[in-house]
C-alpha cells in the first residue's frame, strides 16, 4: 500500500496536477491534503463503483478537509463512492452536514440503503447526513428557502443530458455562499457519453461552460480525475 501511494503520488505530481485547465487556482494545501490522505476513504466499500472512484472520493475528502464546509450537497450519489469522502472529512472536522440526492435509477435498490451503510461505515453520525430520494430538479428548488446562501460545496453528478445537467447546476446557484464551490463531474470531452446528441455532443461540459460564460465565474477542470471534474467558484 505504501508503494502504491508513492507511485500514484509521483504520477499525479508530474502528470496529473499539472494538467489543470482554466483560470481558477486552487490552494496548494488542498493538494497536500489530497496526497497525504488514505488511498481509499472506505476500503470495504459496499455496492458498485468504478476503478477511479477511490481517487475521486479521496479528492472530495481533501476539499472538505481544506474548506471545512458547514453544508455539502451532492446530486447523484448511487452507492456513495464520493459521499464516503465527504462523510469521512466531516467526521474528522467535527462539523458540517451532508445532503445527498438520488432517484435510484442506475441500479435499483442501491440508494439510499447501500449509500447509508457506506456513510455510517466511515463514522459520520446519522443525524449529520440526509439522504433525499427523488428528482434533483424538484428537490433542490424545494430546499432553497431553508438553505439559500448557506451551502459551501455543491457536487453535480446526476443526469448527464445537457438540459438536466444545466438545470442541476443553475438550481444550485441560489444555495451557494459567496465563494462557494460547485463541482461538476463528467466534463471530459474526450469520452463519448450515451447522453450525447447531435446538438450537444459534450452535454455536461457544455452545461458547465454555459454557466461559466453566463455568469463570468472563475473555473478550472481537474483532468487527473477520471471523466474530469469541473470546479466553479461562485461570486456574489
Query: From the CA atom positions of the chain, what is the Rg in Å?
Result: 17
CATH number at residue 50: 3.40.50.150
Task: Say how far apart CA 165 and CA 193 lie, in whole Å.
Answer: 13
Task: Say how far apart CA 231 and CA 5 lie, in whole Å.
Answer: 25
- The mean pLDDT value for 146-150 works out to 98
Query: What pLDDT digit, counting tens, does each position of 47-82 carry?
Result: 877 777 888 999 999 999 999 999 999 999 999 999
Dihedral pair phi/psi, residue 83, rounded to 5°: -60, -35
Q: How far is CA 39 from the centre of its chain?
A: 17
Please give the residue range of the domain that contains residue 103.
2-234
- The mean pLDDT value for 164-183 works out to 98
Query: What's the pTM?
Result: 0.93
Sheet holding 229-234, edge to edge: 20-21, 218-222, 229-234, 176-185, 151-156, 71-75, 97-102, 129-133
Rounded percentage of the chain residues whose pLDDT exceeds 90: 80
Task: Say how far apart CA 236 and CA 216 lie, in whole Å.
Answer: 11
User: What pLDDT shows up at residue 36?
Assistant: 87
Q: What cell does 231 get?
A: 470546479
Question: On the CB side of 104, how many CA atoms lie within 13 Å of its CA?
Answer: 14
Region of poorest pLDDT, from 6-10, 20-24, 38-42, 53-57: 6-10
pLDDT at 222 over 60: yes
pLDDT at 4 over 70: no
Task: Say how far apart CA 103 and CA 82 lie, in whole Å.
Answer: 16
Q: Name the 3-class secondary structure at 168.
A: helix
Region of poorest pLDDT, from 6-10, 24-28, 182-186: 6-10
Query: What pLDDT digit, counting tens, does each position of 101-131 carry?
Result: 999 988 899 999 999 999 999 999 999 999 9
**6 confidence band (pLDDT: 50, 70, 90):** low
Where are the alpha helices (H) located in 14-76, listed in sequence order?
28-36, 53-67
| N-terminal to C-terminal alpha carbon distance within the chain | 43
Query: What pLDDT digit, counting tens, does each position of 29-46 carry?
Result: 999 899 889 889 999 999
Domains in the chain, number = 1
Q: Name the 3-class secondary structure at 120.
A: helix
- The mean pLDDT value for 83-112 works out to 96
Amino acid at each position: 500500500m505504501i508503494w502504491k501511494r508513492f507511485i500514484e503520488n509521483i504520477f499525479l505530481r508530474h502528470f496529473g496536477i499539472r494538467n489543470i485547465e482554466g483560470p481558477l487556482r486552487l490552494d496548494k494545501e488542498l493538494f497536500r491534503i489530497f496526497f497525504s490522505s488514505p488511498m481509499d476513504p472506505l476500503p470495504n466499500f459496499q455496492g458498485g463503483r468504478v476503478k477511479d472512484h477511490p481517487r475521486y472520493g479521496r479528492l472530495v475528502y481533501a476539499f472538505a478537509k481544506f474548506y471545512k464546509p458547514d453544508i455539502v450537497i451532492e446530486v447523484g450519489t448511487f452507492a456513495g463512492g464520493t459521499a464516503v469522502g465527504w462523510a469521512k472529512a466531516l467526521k474528522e472536522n467535527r462539523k458540517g452536514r451532508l445532503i445527498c440526492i438520488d432517484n435510484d435509477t442506475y441500479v435499483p435498490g442501491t440508494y439510499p440503503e447501500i449509500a447509508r451503510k457506506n456513510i455510517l461505515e466511515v463514522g459520520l453520525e446519522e443525524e449529520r447526513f440526509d439522504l433525499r430520494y427523488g428528482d434533483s430538479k424538484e428537490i433542490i428548488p424545494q430546499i432553497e428557502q431553508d438553505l439559500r446562501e448557506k451551502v459551501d460545496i455543491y457536487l453535480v453528478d446526476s443526469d448527464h443530458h445537457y438540459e438536466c445537467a444545466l438545470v442541476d447546476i443553475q438550481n444550485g446557484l441560489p444555495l451557494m455562499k459567496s465563494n462557494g464551490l460547485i463541482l461538476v463531474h463528467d466534463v471530459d470531452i474526450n469520452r463519448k457519453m450515451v447522453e450525447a446528441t447531435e446538438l450537444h455532443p459534450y452535454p455536461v461540459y457544455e452545461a458547465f461552460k454555459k454557466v461559466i460564460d453566463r455568469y463570468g465565474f472563475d473555473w478550472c477542470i481537474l483532468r487527473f480525475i477520471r471523466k474530469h471534474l469541473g470546479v466553479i467558484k461562485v461570486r456574489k
